[in-house]
């Protein structure tokens, strides 16, 4: 049995692309990152251990759960606390689910097909304690190596965000390179993600969730808000992806409204702007965190409208 688009707690959720589109209509195009950097733990007066991590992350979920389109816990900053940190990540995912807020687990997993299945079962299979609503994945072992994750995500109403044009300058070394056919690596990845979404949307009948967000498949791309005109110069057709575009780089990495509008052009309706430190710096007060997230969501909505 599938559930309504804003019901992430259901046994078999509706397709992720549909649920995210509904959440973006309801709350605006912001994903708030949960990045418990040691410096932020210190700034919040918390110890750099699993108890500080837990207090930090659950404060964010308490403040922003039910208020933003999605939360994005950064797995690395939980993993650095070992098994106790991973237990906190499980708790955070469960708390966000109870607050009816989508989670994108930012773990950037990628591996050969047989072991990719293991990652996909951990992060995408219904009932797994580490399964959020979507997972960031790396296609740099070949887009085809992601097939187990694509299949397991689809079977479980989950989504993927495939690294395409990342927000760090070093990403260009790989992503802007050209394949034997002359196509850039980034354009090839985007085209392959678009093919998966086209098939999903054809199956679903492709109905729009709301006027301001187009119908979206469940395989999104990560496209940094810091990349300038790289989508154009690499030949990446963002609109043709027909999936969500997760845009990190807003706030602490320097991108703002002008960059969001410039980078995404006619694909701006698909954009989920992502900010971590830019919002988290307002903590630990919950009301201040919420005010910072609302400001970021309003700014993104204004930059991406029309």
Ligand X SMILES: O=c1ccn([C@@H]2O[C@H](COP(=O)(O)O)[C@@H](O)[C@H]2O)c(=O)[nH]1
Q: Can you tell me which residue has the tokens 């499980």?
A: 90
Q: Can you tell me which residue has the tokens 């990190």?
A: 248
Residues 114-153 that bind ligand X (CB under 6 A): none
3-class secondary-structure state, position 10: coil
Measured from the CB atom, the residue of 204 and 277 that comes closer to ligand X is 277
CA dihedral 272, 276, 279, 281 (to 10 degrees): -170
Residues 257-276 that bind ligand X (CB under 6 A): 274-276
# of chain residues touching ligand X (CB under 6 A)? 18
Measured from the CB atom, the residue of 132 and 251 that comes closer to ligand X is 251
The structure tokens listed for 10 are: 């259901």
Question: Taking a C-beta distance cutoff of 8 angstroms, is the pair 189, 139 a contact?
Answer: yes
- Contact flag: residue 176 with ligand X (CB under 6 A): no
Binding letters toward ligand X, positions 27-66, x by CB under 6 A: ------x-x-------------------------------
- Contact flag: residue 74 with ligand X (CB under 6 A): yes
Distance of closest approach, residue 156 Cβ to ligand X, in angstroms: 23
Distance of closest approach, residue 76 Cβ to ligand X, in angstroms: 7
**Pick from 93, 95, 97: which is nearest to 106 by CA?**
93
Measured from the CB atom, the residue of 167 and 234 that comes closer to ligand X is 167
Distance of closest approach, residue 254 Cβ to ligand X, in angstroms: 9
Candidate residues 103, 167, 184, 215; the one interacting with ligand X per rule CB under 6 A: 167
Question: Taking a C-beta distance cutoff of 8 angstroms, is the pair 105, 73 a contact?
Answer: yes
Buried b (16+ CB within 10 A) or exposed e, 285-297: eeeebbebbbebb
Burial status of residue 6 (CB atoms within 10 A of its CB: 0-12, 13-18, 19 or more): middle
Residues 229-258 that bind ligand X (CB under 6 A): 248-249, 251-253
The structure tokens listed for 130 are: 């580490």
- Contact flag: residue 106 with ligand X (CB under 6 A): yes
Active site residues: 108
Distance of closest approach, residue 32 Cβ to ligand X, in angstroms: 9
Question: Taking a C-beta distance cutoff of 8 angstroms, is the pair 16, 218 a contact?
Answer: yes
Distance of closest approach, residue 126 Cβ to ligand X, in angstroms: 25
Distance of closest approach, residue 11 Cβ to ligand X, in angstroms: 30
Candidate residues 67, 166, 175, 197; the one interacting with ligand X per rule CB under 6 A: 166
What is the SS3 assignment for 74-101?
EHHHHHCCHHHHHHHHHHHHHHHHHCCC
Can you give the binding site for ligand X, defined by CB under 6 A?
A: 33, 35, 74, 106, 166-167, 222, 224, 248-249, 251-253, 274-278
């Amino acid at each position: 049995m599938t559930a309504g688009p804003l019901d992430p707690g259901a046994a078999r959720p509706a397709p992720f692309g549909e649920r995210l589109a509904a959440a973006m209509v309801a709350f605006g195009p912001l994903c708030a990152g949960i990045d418990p950097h040691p410096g932020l733990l210190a700034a919040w007066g918390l110890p750099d251990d699993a108890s500080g991590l837990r207090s930090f992350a659950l404060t964010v979920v308490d403040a922003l759960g039910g208020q933003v389109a999605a939360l994005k816990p950064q797995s690395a900053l939980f993993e650095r606390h070992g098994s106790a940190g991973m237990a906190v990540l499980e708790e955070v995912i469960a708390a966000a689910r109870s607050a009816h807020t989508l989670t994108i687990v930012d773990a950037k997993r990628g591996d050969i097909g047989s072991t990719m299945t293991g990652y996909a079962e951990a992060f995408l299979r219904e009932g797994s304690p580490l399964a959020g609503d979507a997972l960031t994945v790396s296609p740099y072992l070949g887009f085809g190596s992601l097939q187990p994750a694509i299949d397991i995500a689809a079977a479980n109403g989950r989504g993927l965000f495939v690294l395409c044009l990342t927000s760090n300058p070093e990403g260009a070394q790989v992503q802007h390179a050209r394949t034997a056919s002359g196509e850039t690596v980034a354009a090839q990845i985007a085209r392959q993600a678009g093919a998966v979404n086209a098939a999903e949307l054809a199956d679903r009948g492709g109905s729009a969730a709301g006027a301001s967000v187009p119908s979206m498949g469940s395989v999104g791309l990560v496209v940094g808000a810091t990349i300038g005109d790289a989508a154009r110069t690499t030949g990446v057709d963002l609109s043709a992806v027909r999936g969500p575009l997760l845009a990190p780089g807003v706030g602490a990495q320097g991108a703002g409204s002008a960059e969001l509008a410039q980078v995404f052009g006619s694909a701006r309706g698909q954009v989920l702007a992502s900010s971590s430190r830019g919002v988290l710096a307002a903590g630990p007060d919950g009301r201040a965190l919420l005010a910072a997230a609302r400001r970021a969501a309003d700014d993104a909505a204004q930059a991406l409208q029309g």
